[in-house]
Structure 1
Amino acid sequence: MGFFDCYCALCSGPLSIYYVKLGSKRARDIKKRQKRVQLLKRKRAGESVDIDDIDDGDDDAEMEDASEIETEEASPEESSDDEDDKDYAASSASSSPSDDSEYWEDSDPEMLIGGITDMDVPPPEPEVERDDTWSQTSDLSVEFDFYNKQDPLQDPRDFYYEETRSYDPIVLSPKDLTWLDRCRCLAFNAAATGVTKAFISGRGRYSDYGSFDVRQPGRDPNDTGEDYHTCFHTSDTNETVSFPFHETCYYILARSLGYTRQECIDKDAMYTAMRHNVQSNASRLDLDYGCINGVEQSWECQPGEEFSVCDPGPRLNFTEVLRGLMPAKLLDGAPIPLDLTHKVRDDPFAVLPYDILHDIFDLLSIESAKSLMNASYHVFTSTRASNTVFWRHMLRSRVSPWFWELNDFLLESTLPPTFNYQYLFHWLNKKTTPEFGMTGEFMGIANRRRIWRVCQQLVPSYKDRVAPVKHKEPDDEEAQSILDSAVSLHMPIVLYPQPKDLRTMSTQFIRSWSEIGHSCDFDTYWNPSSILVGIAITFSSTQRVFGSTDGSAGQPLHIDAGDWIQSITAYMGHVNRHDEGQDRSTYLDATFCETAKDAGIEGLKVTLTSGKTKTLKRHRQCKGLRPFIVLPNMAFIGFTGQIAANGMVSRLGILQAPRRGVNLRSGMSSYTPSQKMLWSLQAESLPHNNEWNRPIWAHPTLRLTTFGSPSQETASVPFDMLPHEILLWAESPAQYQYLNRISCFEVVSGKCTNHEESWDIPDIVGIWPGKTHKSGLAAHIGSSGPVPCQHPDFETCQNPSELKLNQTFKRFEEANMRHFAIDGPGGEVVSEVHVSDGMRAIKLFTNRGRECYWGLEGCMNWQIKRAEKGEFILGLSCSFGTLSGWSQVARVYSHWRLSNLGVITVRTDEGGEFVEVEGFQAEGEGV
């Protein structure tokens, strides 16, 4: 498809002023442009106009003009006398004349009366004022010529083409377009430390291929600081999309929600509301943006649609301008109507009181309201022009919400008693209706009206997700103090596939520190597929719920007075991408693969400060462990996360706050990598000095060193949903005496070719050590095989299950093994681990200078972890989560290959440094 543009989520306009072009200012070009627009307008009205003939005729005229231009350029004195050749001065939309013709007929039958009024949205508390909350206010630099000009050497046809793809320079001026260059993104940061996760980026521009480039840094505390954001959709499930917008559009959105400042918008609720309205591979939201035609693969400036890019922002001092534009007929009052009561035989609406009529009108479109007036004489007489109260109400309810300047006019102006408010309503309704070919003062207002209607489509979704108004309770002040000090340090994905319709929510379980001194009950709730839908804590008779209680209850946990929650471990379901039951009828690669079942939280285990543990539920097919740990000097106070429309918990994080009386002067500690990762079940019980086994995230001696970001090739499953396995080839330094080899299970997933040769592409799909202690072998990690691509017929067969792999190949088939012998009894140990960029290859080095190489040959950009003095490398942490081995015939992947790697060490001293090679640095954190 090549390059493509994305557009403002709220107006569907271009996200940079560089996408807008103004046409030629020469008089003859403007005349031809206006003629072309008028003909197109007639065609849209239903007249029989052949657009091809129009273009052909203009093309011929353009060629004639070209010869005239050459003559004029040869004789400038002669051309200076020709008024038709003079450039028109560019004029703002605000300087165009208005039309005083009558507008009694409404042309916008779709505008709902109820859709224009303010929605009943519970207003959130305004955000705390910060220094320049909206980030910087300086404009980005603009360096280009807005106007289309003809070069004497240019092909006239190219000039003509630009004229048909540019706006009228008389209708618009550059100052009307400045707002298009003030763009930002509404984005999401799951790693933000606060309760809220969404943020607004700094100013930037759309740059192509779905990327919004941040040009000036933002100051939102949740900002990730990234230089670019991906707009609307992504094929990488580990990447969160963002929603670009113009600052002016965001202000209109705030006003449409009933707020006076954009800071009042609940960004988390709005982010999920927008996410709910995204379609796959879309360049804008799935909303009705009105009849504008510039939205193509790239933005096209459509002559006649100048209103769609005219500044919709507030118009300062517009009251006097509005007074000057109003027809004089508004002051004449209404004509005295005839009394036709004696001709009415039966009018069922005659029994309706006036206040009931008001309510009915608030539910009708304007067209329906007019029809009702024509159908009922009682309604007609009740809504005559003389009824100024009714028509002022109509102006306030349908026009003033988006025509803010009208409020000032109605409040500040001294209007005569004969002023015709009915005429004013119809006149403004007509003048502010966006339509092809419109010009004049009301273009920006008409664009605002269009954007307002778009924003109104987001109101119901936002209303469903916005935080409810807090109920006042006796302990409300202390509860607010606890919540203000709370943080959420990690909110990983816990459901796959990720649903589109999500609701962000937080529940505060502890509202007073004294509540920890009371006993309580901890309950969980599960849907029929055994996936978590809710968690509740009950103090006495008061139950506080995260999620919902719709579902079957798990095992209850009674927490005694004085005891409290120290950690929660979630048992995660298995993400199966190779199941024969998956729907493969439409997908081309892993991105489109439909899983056979949802994978989510299928069990919980709670550990209390007293050391007591209880498993509330655990499904037998759980494959991963997700720890949620309360840090030292902190206390668990509740949950935050996202809930899918079907009730399943999609993201989960704990809220924790400093314990009562604790002052974190030295700063709060943070999670280590091992505490933030998803682990296999085996990682929960690692040996420790022949005592009780310990989990890797809380092990007192083992240390994990990670290597940057995991491989993102074919990243069809979020990293949060891929468990990491632990391979210990020595449980302690002393156990090295039993190690004799470490082996890698490799399979060929494809071939790479150039002009001279071709070679195999091997994947690391499993690792298996030799003898690791006196009693026997350690368990392998990854796959032991066989995998489909081992079979020579894999790429040509229709159904891989027919290959009968288990009858043809053995586990750890010798032909696919790469062994590395180690003289453990003689004192040889692994001293270095190298991993290539993309996790395509691993190198192990020993203290005797020997080396092994697994994976793709010729890799570069290696990251290195060396064992320092007093430190021993005991094993690896690995995630096998990148799909590989694609069969075009069967439309299925063969296996998972290595996607992430870490090094497990034991420290005998406090030394240790990390080595940087070719721009990469190994990063370690103690556990």
Structure 2
Amino acid sequence: MAFDCYCAICGVGFSGMRIGTPSDATPERRRQYVERISRPVNGTTTTDTAPQDKEEPIRSYDPNLVTQDNVAWTSQVHCLGMQDDAKGTSRAFLSGPGYYADAGELAVKVGQAARRTYFNCYGFGTNDVPGPVMPFHWCCFEILLRTLTGTTDPKNVNLEALYEAMSSHCNWSGSALRLSYGEDVIRAQGQYWQSLPGAEYTVRNPSTANITETLKTTLQTNAKLRTSPTDITLDTREPRNPFSALPTELVHQICSLLPGESLKSLTQASLYINLITRDDYFWKRFIASDMPWLEEGEAEVLRKRVVDDESSAESASASESPINYQRVYQWLDRVTKPAFGMDDELFMAVANRRRIWGVCEVLAGAYRAQCA
């Protein structure tokens, strides 16, 4: 029986990307579809794909948001496997490029001879490769390498440890790893990949995203990012907190370990935490720690702005106040958050990169445990 298998890292398929025709009705139908299935029900958002009317449900991406060039990266497959009779220092191997043949079978090039070899992904393997073979897109693998080693060079990673880490999440009878790829990807993982409107960001190439110039322009022109924090009138209040007994630097380090949403909740619950995390010193570093998925060029823009702001803070005029890095974080977090129905082409690929990075961090934990 024919079926699709999915990338072990991002959860997206290797084929079956359907893109609608650029007719006048397509964008409007998509808007209505996304609005309908995202409508809050009893205070929560539902993404139920069951049709709510007699109209045929849409099963293609919006051509205004996705083109064949955008999804070309999904068709090429590599894999990570383990050989019993390997003569090298590592039994693990990375394949060359290939394609998904169908019914769980990969056709990839392996070895110096680059001969075409067939593997069954996520299955029980063969005599030569007895364990499961992990298929992936190469750009997803580069994100995983950055998460593990800080570089995109496969030579810097222990492939055997990585194989064991990924195998620990393997679903032997499934078509992907047991990982949280995100609700929009999980819904699309049927017998075949479903091209669901509203989830176009999941198939945008995460390696082609570059918001460096947008960051430069936004930091220079967006007045909202230069608005000072709202003053808090303490009057006779003396904010006390168990953290107040600790040095401020230590509290900053503790807060920097929290996810953004958790930190937001903590600052709302604790006046003390709210007060000591209002300075740019903290938020400049929180952006670096909470947003490691930013590309080097994008992060460099923020680092350069840090230097520029610190060197010119004393001479800044009232009309050009220093950047409020808490607002910069809040803006970046909002525009890059993976979300059903997002239609900002500039940030869709960044949102996909951010989603994939979250999966890679789970694999990184298992990898470091294997290395230890």
Instruction: Identify which of 360, 367, 370 aligns with 1:455.
Output: 360
Is residue 2:154 matched to residue 1:256?
no
**1:259–1:265 CA contact under 8 A, matched in 2:** no
Structure 1 or 2: more helix by fraction:
2
Question: Structure 1's 423 and 403: CA in aligned 2 closer, same or farther, altered over 3 A?
Answer: farther
- Output the CA distance in 2 between the equivalents of 1:50 and 1:397: 35
Point out where structure 1 has 5 or more consecutive residues left out of the alignment.
60-159, 469-927
Secondary structure of 1:343's aligned partner: coil
TM-score (norm 2): 0.86
- Output the CA distance in 2 between the equivalents of 1:373 and 1:50: 34
Instruction: Identify which of 436, 443, 446 aligns with 2:348.
Output: 443
Higher relative contact order (CA 8 A, sep 6+): 2
Question: Structure 1's 166 and 397: CA in aligned 2 closer, same or farther, altered over 3 A?
Answer: same
Is residue 2:189 matched to residue 1:191?
no
**1:640-651 alignment runs, 5 A limit:** none
- Output the CA distance in 2 between the equivalents of 1:437 and 1:459: 29
- Output the CA distance in 2 between the equivalents of 1:410 and 1:460: 28
Point out where structure 2 has 5 or more consecutive residues left out of the alignment.
314-321
**1:403–1:445 CA contact under 8 A, matched in 2:** no
1:867-901 per-position Cα deviation (integer Å, ceiling 9, x unaligned): xxxxxxxxxxxxxxxxxxxxxxxxxxxxxxxxxxx
1:140-180 per-position Cα deviation (integer Å, ceiling 9, x unaligned): xxxxxxxxxxxxxxxxxxxx55xx11101111222221221
- What is the identity, as a one-letter code, of the residue corresponding to 1:389? Y
Over aligned residues, Cα RMSD in angstroms?
2.6
- Output the CA distance in 2 between the equivalents of 1:165 and 1:53: 11
- Output the CA distance in 1 between the equivalents of 2:208 and 2:190: 29
Is residue 2:206 matched to residue 1:312?
yes
- Output the CA distance in 2 between the equivalents of 1:245 and 1:289: 13
Question: Structure 1's 49 and 8: CA in aligned 2 closer, same or farther, altered over 3 A?
Answer: closer
Deviation at 1:185, TM superposition (A): 0.7
Question: Structure 1's 229 and 54: CA in aligned 2 closer, same or farther, altered over 3 A?
Answer: same
**1:182–1:246 CA contact under 8 A, matched in 2:** yes
**1:476-555 alignment runs, 5 A limit:** none
Is residue 2:281 matched to residue 1:283?
no
- Output the CA distance in 1 between the equivalents of 2:299 and 2:83: 39
Q: What residue is the counterpart of 1:229 in the other structure?
A: 119
Deviation at 1:39, TM superposition (A): 1.5
Deviation at 1:349, TM superposition (A): 2.8
- What is the identity, as a one-letter code, of the residue corresponding to 1:406? E
Deviation at 1:188, TM superposition (A): 1.7
- Output the CA distance in 1 between the equivalents of 2:38 and 2:328: 26
Instruction: Identify which of 20, 38, 42 aligns with 1:41.
Output: 38
Larger Cα-atom Rg: 1
Q: What residue is the counterpart of 2:17 in the other structure?
A: 20
TM-score (norm 1): 0.36
- Output the CA distance in 2 between the equivalents of 1:48 and 1:204: 37
Q: What residue is the counterpart of 1:243 in the other structure?
A: 134
1:266-304 per-position Cα deviation (integer Å, ceiling 9, x unaligned): 111111111121123011111111112211111110100
**1:199–1:220 CA contact under 8 A, matched in 2:** no
Question: Structure 1's 191 and 444: CA in aligned 2 closer, same or farther, altered over 3 A?
Answer: same
Matched positions, count:
353
**1:233–1:241 CA contact under 8 A, matched in 2:** yes
Deviation at 1:444, TM superposition (A): 0.7
Is residue 2:310 matched to residue 1:410?
no
- Output the CA distance in 2 between the equivalents of 1:3 and 1:341: 70
Q: What residue is the counterpart of 1:370 in the other structure?
A: 264
Deviation at 1:314, TM superposition (A): 4.9
- What is the identity, as a one-letter code, of the residue corresponding to 2:8? A
1:494-552 per-position Cα deviation (integer Å, ceiling 9, x unaligned): xxxxxxxxxxxxxxxxxxxxxxxxxxxxxxxxxxxxxxxxxxxxxxxxxxxxxxxxxxx
1:47-78 per-position Cα deviation (integer Å, ceiling 9, x unaligned): 7999767432xx3xxxxxxxxxxxxxxxxxxx
Q: What residue is the counterpart of 2:61 in the other structure?
A: 167
Secondary structure of 1:187's aligned partner: strand
**1:314–1:404 CA contact under 8 A, matched in 2:** no
Deviation at 1:346, TM superposition (A): 4.2
Secondary structure of 1:227's aligned partner: strand
Q: What residue is the counterpart of 2:228 in the other structure?
A: 334
- Output the CA distance in 1 between the equivalents of 2:341 and 2:78: 30
Question: Structure 1's 252 and 49: CA in aligned 2 closer, same or farther, altered over 3 A?
Answer: closer
1:622-679 per-position Cα deviation (integer Å, ceiling 9, x unaligned): xxxxxxxxxxxxxxxxxxxxxxxxxxxxxxxxxxxxxxxxxxxxxxxxxxxxxxxxxx
- Output the CA distance in 2 between the equivalents of 1:237 and 1:271: 18
**1:315–1:405 CA contact under 8 A, matched in 2:** no
Secondary structure of 2:236's aligned partner: helix
Question: Structure 1's 273 and 50: CA in aligned 2 closer, same or farther, altered over 3 A?
Answer: closer
- Output the CA distance in 2 between the equivalents of 1:249 and 1:461: 17
Secondary structure of 1:320's aligned partner: helix
Q: What residue is the counterpart of 2:318 in the other structure?
A: none
**1:201–1:218 CA contact under 8 A, matched in 2:** yes
- What is the identity, as a one-letter code, of the residue corresponding to 2:298? L
- What is the identity, as a one-letter code, of the residue corresponding to 1:450? R
**1:790-869 alignment runs, 5 A limit:** none
Is residue 2:247 matched to residue 1:353?
yes
Instruction: Identify which of 319, 327, 333 aligns with 1:429.
Output: 333
**1:64-143 alignment runs, 5 A limit:** none
Q: What residue is the counterpart of 2:319 in the other structure?
A: none
**1:253–1:452 CA contact under 8 A, matched in 2:** yes
